Chain A
Amino acid sequence: MRTPKTLLKKSLVALVLFFLGALAAYFLPLLVPASGASAWVHHPLLPIFVMTLIFVVAHKAIERLIKKLLEKYFFHKKTYAQMTLMDLAGDLAVNLDLQEIANLVVNTFGEVLHLKTVALLVPDPLQNNFEVASAYGWRISASKKIRLAVDTPLLKMIHQTGPHILMRGPVLQSLSWQEANALACDLDALQAGWVIPLFVKGELEGILAFGALVPDTVFDQSDFHFFREFAAVIGPCLHNALVVKRLRQLNFELQDSQSQWVQKTKLNAIEKLAAGIAHEIHNPLAIISGKAQVLLMQKGPKQLEPNVQEALNTIVKQTRRAADITRKLLLYSQGSRGPQEWVSLEKVLDETLALLAYQASLDKIEITRNLDPELPRYHANIQEIREIFLNLLLNAVEAVGSEGKIVVEMKYLREEGLLEITCSDTGKGIPADHLDKVFNPFYTTRHEAVGLGLFVTQQITHRYGGSIRVESQVGIGSLFTLQLPCSPETARSGEAEKRVVEGVSGRGGQ
């Protein structure tokens, strides 16, 4: 390649040689004793002869020297690369985001050293293995699959050799063929020719594995010196980012368990209260209602006036309602679960919609359903699923009041293993400062309502390990999103088990 670099090199070599020759030709006569005996010293061809001699003898050596000097100070790729990487290390020191650090490290490392692949692995304390935080030269899907358990040959090797850089060739040669084979598998999986372990205070905080574009790439002593320095700089950055990540995780978990605990305490209190109330109140209610019923059942001459009859009917009805509230509250706070079966969500939704259709049509509310065609069956208690749909829809109908739209959607998110039920309405919406209260027991904005619908829905959802959240804007409407975990054990394709759901029967008596 005739680049300016080559040209510069050649001319520099020529210049230096000429200078050396001229120097020799000039000083040669001075070295010879000045007695007139040696007239050949002054022969005009002598300087040319000496210069040619020096050209021939010193050319190779000078050229090598010039090349070395030139590469060192101007064109040495590796030196240049090392400078870039040290700059990068400086940038990393002020960054605390693990993902950003990992991306920067692998991309810069890969580009600057012209590598084929680079992967940075970080420990995942939950899974007790190492996962790829970021990769260069990999398809993301392929790199995400790589996980190194703590007992894989490569990790065992790293823990044995400590912070030394592993080179595929020499390491494999030093092992017995079985061990070498096992280790080669790990290295192949990472497409790695070199592995730099990143130790911080004796803890392995990361592994930088990379492979070269050209198969027989050789790094020399100065490269390894640089790798070690680089590792010493990014190691602590990675360590800090990992600590921050773990702290965030722990903080999140703490908040989560705290709110769960608060919720649980609340529920326990409600349960005790409800159980007490139920027992104490149901007896008087039974007597009140009973006496009214006795009066109503009187026949013959003692027939009651219509208005008295109506009053008595109201007494009976209202005592029943009061009893229902405490019963419902107690049952849900106790978390009692009825029998489970394979439920067709679509069927349950349609039954619920049928219940509400009349009311909705009176209020000019348009209800649309939008279902995933491949909705699986769900293993659950059908009453509870019914309760979920009923509460969400009743809530939406109440929120809309009159004239508006409700859209119910059900989706099966295969990848996440979730069933998602959303219910949106064009109702009056919920003020932002009330959003976190809508799931509280007895929260209601309606005078005639008890405020247990959404609470119960949330309780059921939690019982199935799901989540429910609400987004709302006053005057525009609300969106409830409910997600239920749907693993192969809790979901079945619609084809199987068609017969199960048909025979649903409730037992009870009055």
Chain B
Amino acid sequence: MIKKLLIVDDEAEICEFLKSFFEDRDFKVATAHNGIAALEQVERFQPDVVLLDIQMPGMDGLQTLKKMKDTHPKLKVIMVTAVETQEKIEEAMRLGADNYITKPLSLEYLEKDVQDKIDSLAKIS
């Protein structure tokens, strides 16, 4: 089974770095640098899991999350935050985010969490 991951971050370096990390682990990875591009990629690329940065110019992570969950309720979304307030994190969880992790990322934890999400999807289907 092909594991598909979409990485959304306004910082290109982060996208590239995470892309190579997950590609090394047999993921198929797409990237997007803003909310609108992310929504397009969700349609085109049909990812299993999305890594979504909260703080982005234009449409921010929370708005993007809401739209994604509206159209694709089964999509697993992990929020990536730099420094968010408790309220923002709680709002993300309320909007249906499946988890959140803070930067700098612990890759070990991130890999395990993404894998868990994929496994849970596999179980359902």
Flag whether B46 is at the interface (Cβ < 8 A). no
Flag whether B41 is at the interface (Cβ < 8 A). no
Could you say which residues of chain A place their CB within 8 Å of the CB of B100? 509
Provide the bound-state CA to CA distance between A334 and B83, in Å: 11
Provide the bound-state CA to CA distance between A32 and B11, in Å: 139
Contacts of B99-114 to chain A: CB distance below 8 A: 99-109, 113
Stretch with Cβ within 8 A of B (4 or more), from A111-119, A164-172, A260-268, A319-327: A319-327
- Interface size grouping (class) on chain A: 20 to 34
B104 adjacent to A286 (CB under 8 Å): yes
Provide the bound-state CA to CA distance between A104 and B13, in Å: 80
A291 adjacent to B85 (CB under 8 Å): no
B87 adjacent to A285 (CB under 8 Å): no
Flag whether A176 is at the interface (Cβ < 8 A). no
Q: Which of B21, B104, B108 contacts A285 (CB 8 A)?
A: B104
Contacts of B4-44 to chain A: CB distance below 8 A: 11, 13-14, 17-18, 21
Could you say which residues of chain A place their CB within 8 Å of the CB of B99? 509
Provide the bound-state CA to CA distance between A293 and B106, in Å: 8
B11 adjacent to A283 (CB under 8 Å): yes
A287 adjacent to B83 (CB under 8 Å): no
Counting residue pairs across A and B whose Cβ atoms lie within 8 Å, the total is 72
B18 adjacent to A509 (CB under 8 Å): no
Q: Provided the pairs A279-B55, A290-B17 are in contact, do residues A330 and B83 lie with their beta carbons within 8 angstroms?
A: yes
Q: Which of B85, B86, B87, B105 contacts A289 (CB 8 A)?
A: B105
Flag whether A510 is at the interface (Cβ < 8 A). yes
Determine the main DSSP class of A at the interface with B: helix
B13, B101, B103, B104 interface centre (most CB from chain A within 10 Å)? B104
A287, A297, A334 interface centre (most CB from chain B within 10 Å)? A287
A283 adjacent to B13 (CB under 8 Å): yes
Q: Provided the pairs A283-B14, A287-B14, A326-B83 are in contact, do residues A510 and B109 lie with their beta carbons within 8 angstroms?
A: yes
Flag whether B82 is at the interface (Cβ < 8 A). yes
Q: Provided the pairs A323-B104, A509-B99, A509-B109 are in contact, do residues A290 and B83 lie with their beta carbons within 8 angstroms?
A: no
Could you say which residues of chain B place their CB within 8 Å of the CB of A330? 83
A278 adjacent to B82 (CB under 8 Å): yes
Provide the bound-state CA to CA distance between A127 and B32, in Å: 62
A297 adjacent to B104 (CB under 8 Å): no
Please, which residue of chain A has its CB at the minimum distance from the CB of B110? A510
Could you say which residues of chain A place their CB within 8 Å of the CB of B113? 509
Contacts of A157-200 to chain B: CB distance below 8 A: none
Could you say which residues of chain B place their CB within 8 Å of the CB of A297? 107-108
B55 adjacent to A331 (CB under 8 Å): no
Provide the bound-state CA to CA distance between A20 and B93, in Å: 115
Could you say which residues of chain B place their CB within 8 Å of the CB of A279? 55, 82-83
B83 adjacent to A275 (CB under 8 Å): yes
Could you say which residues of chain B place their CB within 8 Å of the CB of A327? 83, 102
Contacts of B44-96 to chain A: CB distance below 8 A: 55, 82-83, 85-87
Flag whether A336 is at the interface (Cβ < 8 A). yes
Please, which residue of chain B has its CB at the minimum distance from the CB of A291? B17
Beyond A289-B104, A323-B102: 16 further Cβ-contacts under 8 Å?
Answer: A278-B83, A282-B82, A283-B14, A283-B82, A287-B13, A287-B14, A290-B18, A290-B21, A290-B107, A293-B107, A293-B108, A297-B108, A316-B104, A336-B87, A508-B102, A510-B109
* Contact surface of A with B, Cβ cutoff 8 Å: 274-275, 278-279, 282-283, 285-291, 293-294, 297, 316, 319-320, 323, 326-327, 330-331, 334, 336-338, 508-510
Interchain Cβ contacts under 8 Å between A and B, 14 examples = A274-B83, A279-B83, A282-B82, A283-B14, A285-B103, A286-B104, A290-B18, A290-B107, A297-B107, A320-B104, A326-B83, A331-B85, A336-B87, A509-B101
* Contact surface of B with A, Cβ cutoff 8 Å: 11, 13-14, 17-18, 21, 55, 82-83, 85-87, 99-109, 113
